[in-house]
Structure 1
């Protein structure tokens, strides 16, 4: 059992508190991750989708996981379970410092997460208090104009990483 903490960072211009639409522990937010088999090292062809509100039974076990998947190369089963309560929004301060903010903790058995793909379903707030909902980051950036604050707002240079934690 190895736990991987997903951290995100990016450049926030006149914005703060980037997080999934329903908060960092949003059960409906879907994480799109690329997995590598812990047995043979094969990288999955497609991204895997995992969310807190979806659980499946683990074969030959009494437990459940948020994702059970078989390696297409060696045939071994692997599981991914999500552990909420560790995520925080990406603030402007962390963004300016180039720091990664923790988003979600994954308990992986048989797989190693190697990449996170940004998609839709995010929210962010301007430094003037304007809220932007249903933000789609699948294009790698977001740009709008804050009418209330009379300033442009932008998210760019998004990056993610998985860090092994105890």
Structure 2
């Protein structure tokens, strides 16, 4: 099995700590991405949804996975298991350094995650301490005004990457 560390970066203006709504290990947060079959190389046409709170029993042996899916082209089974505990919010310092923040580890067999799709369910904090919750990033950006700090806040230039990890 190959492990992929899912990472994000963005330009944060007057914001810090961008992460899923209930933290990096939020069991209800849905990760949406396309899957590439390791056998035939076909990329799924629709996004696959994976979350920590959804598990299915392994077809052989004991244990569970967060996703078991059959490739529509070569009919090979693939699975994904999520491993929480490695995630960190994207801070303003990390953003300014143009670095990525790790969010989740995916252990994959038969599939490779590609093309992450940003959606709703994010949160961030302004530099004045105002919390912005249930942020929807599906438009590729977030723009708001911080009344307490009296300045605009913005998330833009979102990027995601799956990096092979050990």
How does the TM-score come out when normalised to structure 2?
Answer: 0.98
Residue equivalent to 1:59: 59
Name the SS of the counterpart of 1:112 in structure 2: strand
Residue equivalent to 2:97: 97
* Partner Cα separation in structure 2 for residue 57 and residue 139 of structure 1: 35
Runs of 4+ in 1 over 4 A off after TM superposition: none
Residue equivalent to 1:43: 43
1:13 aligns with 2:13: yes
Residue 61 of structure 1 deviates from its aligned partner by 3.1
Q: How many residues align?
A: 166
Residue 122 of structure 1 deviates from its aligned partner by 0.4
Residue equivalent to 2:151: 151
Name the SS of the counterpart of 1:93 in structure 2: helix
**Structure 1 range deviating more: 58-67 or 119-128:** 58-67
* Partner Cα separation in structure 2 for residue 143 and residue 45 of structure 1: 30
Residue 114 of structure 1 deviates from its aligned partner by 1.2
* Partner Cα separation in structure 2 for residue 72 and residue 41 of structure 1: 12
How does the TM-score come out when normalised to structure 1?
Answer: 0.98
Structure 2 unaligned spans of 5+ = none
* Partner Cα separation in structure 2 for residue 101 and residue 134 of structure 1: 19
- What RMSD, in angstroms, separates the aligned Cα atoms of the two structures? 0.7
Residue 57 of structure 1 deviates from its aligned partner by 1.3
Residue 110 of structure 1 deviates from its aligned partner by 0.3
1:23 aligns with 2:23: yes
Name the SS of the counterpart of 1:148 in structure 2: coil
Structure 1 unaligned spans of 5+ = none
Q: Deviations over 1:42-70 (max 9, x none)?
A: 00111100000000012233221000110
Name the SS of the counterpart of 2:144 in structure 1: strand
